[in-house]
C-alpha cells in the first residue's frame, strides 16, 4: 500500500518532470541501462488502480525520457513506476524505508537508487 509520504513524493516528481526539471539525458540513460539489465527487483505493472495511476502520470510527464521497453515496469522494492524514477531529480525521490533499503541492498546491489536517495537532504 502506498503511504501518504510516497504519494506526495510521486506527485512532486510528476510536477518537476512536467516542468522539465529532470536529470540530464546522459544520467537518465545510465539509470535506464541499470534498470534494463536483468534486475531481480524489476516488476511488470499490474492492473491495480495505484499502479495504473502511477504509470499514467509517468507517461504524461516522461514518455520520451524513458525507453519503451521499461515503460511497463516498476521497482519491486518501492513500487514506483520506472517512468517516474528514471528521470527524477534526487531531491524529488522518496526515501526508502529501512526495510526497503535492506531489500534493495540485498536483492539489487547494482541499483542506482541508493546513491540518489543518500544524497537527499534530511527531511
> What percent of the chain has a predicted confidence (pLDDT) above 70?
72
* 118 is a domain residue: no
Specify if 1 maps to a domain. no
In a domain, 15, yes or no: no
How far apart are the C-alpha atoms of 94 and 113, rounded to whole Å? 10
Asked, for residue 9, whether it belongs to a domain, the answer is no
- Within-domain flag for 53: yes
Total domain count for the chain? 1
Greater confidence, 33 or 96? 33
Residue 23 has pLDDT above 80, yes or no: yes
Residue 2 inside a domain? The answer is no
CB atoms under 10 Å from CB of 67, counted, come to 14
pLDDT in tens, 45-58: 876 666 666 666 66
d(CA 67, CA 94): 22
- pLDDT (mean) for 20-31: 90
Q: How far apart are the first and last CA of the chain?
A: 21
24-39 mean pLDDT: 92
Q: Which domain holds residue 81?
A: 24-113
Q: Is residue 14 part of a domain?
A: no
The pLDDT value recorded for residue 53 is: 65
Q: Which residues pair with 81 in a beta bridge?
A: 74
Report DSSP state, residue 106. H
- Could you tell me the pTM of the whole model? 0.78
Cell of 60: 504524461
Amino acid at each position: 500500500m502506498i503511504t501518504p509520504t510516497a504519494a506526495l513524493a510521486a506527485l512532486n516528481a510528476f510536477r518537476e518532470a512536467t516542468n522539465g526539471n529532470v536529470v540530464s539525458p546522459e544520467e537518465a540513460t545510465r539509470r535506464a541501462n541499470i534498470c534494463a539489465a536483468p534486475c531481480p527487483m524489476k516488476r511488470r505493472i499490474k492492473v491495480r488502480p495505484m499502479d495504473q495511476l502511477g504509470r499514467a502520470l509517468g507517461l504524461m510527464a516522461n514518455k520520451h525520457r524513458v525507453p519503451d521497453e521499461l515503460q511497463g515496469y516498476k521497482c519491486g522494492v518501492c513500487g514506483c513506476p520506472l517512468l517516474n524514477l528514471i528521470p527524477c531529480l534526487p531531491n524529488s525521490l522518496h526515501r526508502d524505508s529501512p526495510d526497503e533499503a535492506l531489500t534493495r541492498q540485498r536483492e539489487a546491489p547494482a541499483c542506482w537508487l541508493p546513491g540518489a536517495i543518500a544524497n537527499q537532504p534530511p527531511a
